[in-house]
Amino acid sequence: MEFTAKQLAQILKGTVDGDENATATRFSKIEHGKPGSLCFFANPKYEQYVYTSKATIILVNNDFQPKESVGATLIRVENAYTAIADLLKYVSSKKRKTGRHRSLRARFYPTTRFGKDVYVGAFAFVGHHTEVGDGTVIHEHVYIGDDCKIGKNCIFYPGVRIYPGMVIGDNVIIHANAVIGADGFGNVPQPDGTWEKIEHLGNVIIGNNVEIGANTTIDRAQMESTVIGNGVKIDNLCQIAHNVQIGDNTVMAAQCGIAGSTIIGKNCIFGGQVGIAGHIKIADHTTLGAQAGVIGNIRKSGEVLIGSPVIPVRQYMKAYAKFKQAAEE
């Protein structure tokens, strides 16, 4: 990348405070800023670095008033954190591949329907009667089964596996080695102590603007659909079981596990390693701290819970204080 301060201000709808011809060729954290780098300042605890950073350009909020001299050119924007996210997205979009790989090692069929500007990498496979929307990027070694519907401007990174019959919306990003549509963990105990597999004939439906981390698995429904709502963000190494429903704009950090047929509300936030039992409901705007264990319904919207089993965070902290005090006696 290479941008002048003037170009960045135009892209981010900001204003230049300093040399509009100052040029940045790379990103860096503000505490690691070097000549030629672009940083951003949004968290007050990092203000000291604004004055000591060697970065060429720093994005700051419009209302930032320096207490000392600043060597870098400042670009003032409404929200520096949002601006850097928008800029990273802009730069990433310029690097996206287009066009199908010319090698026969990428395999698809006459019944496969591609939109405009679709990229299919080497050794990728796209099955019969699958539809792929405009601008989607299918990287090397991706498998997409038969009868899938893939939206526009998706990105599937190497090693992604999408089973037959899956439905994926627009602007979906799926990172390396994620698996969409494997059978759920359903088995029936037999009189002789063995287990009989329950076949899963449903699918997974993923909404628009979803991001799914590397090595995450989302199981197909036994019947009907496992549903991931619009705007959901799922980190690496998460497990979403069969028939789960996740509401719009819910986010979860790495190693979360959601058991079967659980319904998650909208705008929930789950920390790392959260575990949720099956066949329960979790209200909208629920926040679960790291390693929280949920074994029953959460009916009240907006609660912040922690522990295993979960309890309200204030109650947990009081109990922990007493536990710590008892341990020290």
CA 127 to chain centre: 26
- Out of 129, 242, 279, 285, the active site residue is 242
DSSP letter assigned to residue 283: -
CA 85 to chain centre: 13
Please give the structure tokens belonging to residue 272: 């790392």
Triad 243, 142, 98: Cα angle to 5°: 120
Cis bond upstream, residue 309 (ω within 30): yes
- Burial (CB < 10 A; 0-12, 13-18, 19+), residue 24, is buried
Give the residue among 262, 302, 296 at the shortest CA–CA distance from 283: 302
285 is an active site residue: no
* Distance, CA of 158 to CA of 76 (rounded, Å): 38
**Chain position carrying tokens 């627009």:** 170
- Burial (CB < 10 A; 0-12, 13-18, 19+), residue 216, is buried
Give the residue among 290, 306, 209 at the shortest CA–CA distance from 249: 209
Q: What amino acid occupies position 17? A: D
Give the residue among 223, 125, 214, 141 at the shortest CA–CA distance from 178: 214
By annotation, the residues acting in catalysis are 242
